[in-house]
Chains A and B, each alone.
Chain A
Amino acid sequence: MDLVFGIGASHLQVFIPLILLIVALMIPLIDKIDKRYRDPLVVLTTLMSGIFAVIVFLKVLSSPTHYIEYLVGYAWGGQKLLHSGQPIGIALRTDLLGAILLLLINAIGFLAVVYSLQYIQHDVPEEKHTYYYTLLLLMLAGMSGIAITGDCFNAYVFFEVASISSYALVSINGKAESLEATFKYLLIGALSSVFIVFAIGLLFNATGTLNMQYASQQIAKIIDSTPGSPYYPYRYLIFASLGLFIMGFSVKAAFFPGHAWLADAHPVAPASISALLSGLIVKATGVFLLIRFLFSIFGIHKGYYGKILSPLFLIISAITILSGSLFAIVQTQIKRMLAFSTIAQMGYILFGIALVTYNGLAGSILHIINHAIVKSLLFLCSGIIIYKTGIKDITDMGKLGYRMPVTMACFTIGACSMVGVPPLAGFMSKWVLATASFQAGMPYLVIILLLSSLLNAVYYFRVIAISYFGDPKIEVDKIDEAPKTMLVPVLILASLVFILGILVKYPYHGAALPSARLLFR
């Protein structure tokens, strides 16, 4: 491990959460001094962290090992302070999966901030705009921290920073239903975080460390030990800890028994926040950390935990996919429908993890990338519709496609990608998942993927059909296209859906496969 005591300019990934945190806390002050500086400052900060994230991603991608790691630690009289052979400090380890997530968070975060400049004039009370930006930057900082850390407890702290600011953001417009949804989200989030701290405590007691890499070596030692060896009794702590971690992160990732909060919390938030919640929060605080703990720390791919976990995950993912899709069909509100669709898509990601094969994990990672972009696109489009017309029900959207051609074209691209129309990004990740399930010797599971695609088609094509061919319920003549600061982020995301679909070899062979290979080592 490369030891660095203190932070230097070559450690760019540290600066991303650092800048975001500092600016987040400066915004209320700046707002007191002069209101005009606030918006440019927020845009510049997220732009800068986005550029930093691109540089970090390229650095990680070009390094031969596909990860950068070092320790922010202490030196005592010129000597490193050791704790039974390992240096004391907080390990920061940005592997390729973390770098992908970092790039997604900061890129989509920047687009969401640009989109917010106009959008929150409509949906958030005037006096809360400052706190909106503060919380938004705190949330981005928390998620960026999750992506770069190599320390269990540090991951938990950033997890809480992201979660708590997301609770506040969901309830920011102060309406009665958003308060209720937030309280539900908060209770279940607090329960999941209690499980996670408990699991970290058990892990610490069993392995004596919080450093993820060192913990994984210790776990290998404990699980490989035979009865009678001093390591042997600790295996029960490891099993309990793994179970608690899975429970905690499954709730955050909205897998089947703990999915109810998502369908309430995501639709009531402002659309820019819904995009970040559905696109990033469920991935950073849920699926990413689940992958990190299952593979990097507990070593599920080494066959340590018998044959229980994989079938369990497959059953949960099948129920999540089908129930999410079925509930989405009966929804009348567009944002609620998109939230249930998110639940179904999280099931896809779990499906790839559950196969516990190299290709399945690569498919999951590809689906994380694609779904983050596509779901942000869809939520931002629905936000434009609400901003311009106030329409929330799908049945009221008649003839909108002719009055808002750009928005509805982008929505159509996103919807087709969700359904899995071939040249688009969503098709590619489903294809990878399907081939992975063939290769894992479970071809009958492809039926679930196909059935879910069919259900996706039912509810997404209904929206498209109504918006182009339905009868208008409201006066459509006065409606025109949204302002440019809202359209440009949507257009960028829509073009990304095309690019990542057609040039799929770059995200797949360039990023998803190497990061899966790194996790499988």
Chain B
Amino acid sequence: MWIKMILYRIDYIVTVILFCIGLYALILKPNLIKKIIGINILETSVYLFFIASADVRLGPATCQWAGPSEISNAAEVAHAAAGHVPLVNPIPSALILTAIVVSVSVTAISLALAIKIYENYGTLDTRKIMRLKG
């Protein structure tokens, strides 16, 4: 039984694992490039969460067509009356396209900064870079 539950929610579990890996890399790794990779893993985990929550064909519906609100669209009423689970929600995919663009620009600017920091300090190790006390 619990194996079935885990299998149904495997994408959410992977989301949590990826989130923890990303957070670990971002906070504890001293290398700047590894920190940037950490940010990317964090962002990927959130995108996976969005995409997984849009797909409701497996298991109990975590995200319905219109959340917990009443169904008002005639097509949806017919769809529900026929006993079908609601369709895959298209909105999260559209949102994630935008969020990927954002994350690409964050990655680009952070890599450019890492190059500049290497030129100025000669290292990418945060333990050697730390000059400001803030």
Which A residues contact B (CB, under 8 angstroms)?
82-85, 153, 156-157, 160, 164, 167-168, 171, 174, 176-177, 179-184, 186-187, 190-191, 193-194, 197-198, 200-201, 204-210, 218, 221-222, 230-231, 234, 260-264
Contact = CB atoms under 8 A, between A and B. Distances in A.
A346 to B, nearest CB: 15
Contacts of A82: 72-73
Given A157-B98, A191-B26, A171 B42 contact: no
B134 A261 contact: yes
B129 interface: yes
A171 B113 contact: yes
Interface of B: 22, 26, 32, 35, 39, 42-43, 46, 49-50, 53, 62-73, 76, 91-92, 95, 98-99, 102, 105-106, 109-110, 113-114, 116-117, 120-121, 129-132, 134
Given A198-B46, A264-B132, A222 B116 contact: no
Contact of A194 (B42, B105, B114, B132): B42
A486 to B, nearest CB: 27
Contacts of A186: 106, 109-110, 113
A201 B46 contact: yes
A190 B39 contact: yes
Contacts of B114: 183
Contact of B43 (A167, A194, A231): A194
B26 A201 contact: no
Contact of B73 (A84, A194, A208): A84
B21 to A, nearest CB: 13
A176 B46 contact: no
B53 A187 contact: no
Nearest to A187: B35
Nearest to B22: A194
B67 A207 contact: yes
B22 to A, nearest CB: 8
Contact of A209 (B67, B109, B117): B67
SS class, residues of chain A in contact with chain B: helix
B18 to A, nearest CB: 11
B38 to A, nearest CB: 9
Given A85-B69, A176-B117, A182-B113, 10 more contacts: A156-B99, A179-B117, A179-B120, A180-B131, A183-B110, A193-B102, A204-B92, A205-B63, A207-B67, A208-B66
Given A190-B39, A191-B42, A201-B50, A208 B134 contact: no
Q: Which 3 A-B pairs have the closest CB atoms?
A: A208-B67, A84-B66, A264-B134
A186 B49 CA distance: 23
Contact of B68 (A156, A221, A263): A221
A264 B131 CA distance: 10
B131 A157 contact: no
B29 to A, nearest CB: 11
Contacts of A174: 116
A197 B106 CA distance: 14
A209 B64 CA distance: 11
User: In the complex, which of the residues B26, B114, B129, B132 has the most CB atoms of chain A within 10 Å of its own CB atom?
Assistant: B132
Contacts of B65: 84, 208
Contact of B117 (A183, A205, A206): A183
Contacts of A209: 66-67
B116 A171 contact: yes
Given A153-B98, A186-B110, A190-B106, A263 B134 contact: yes
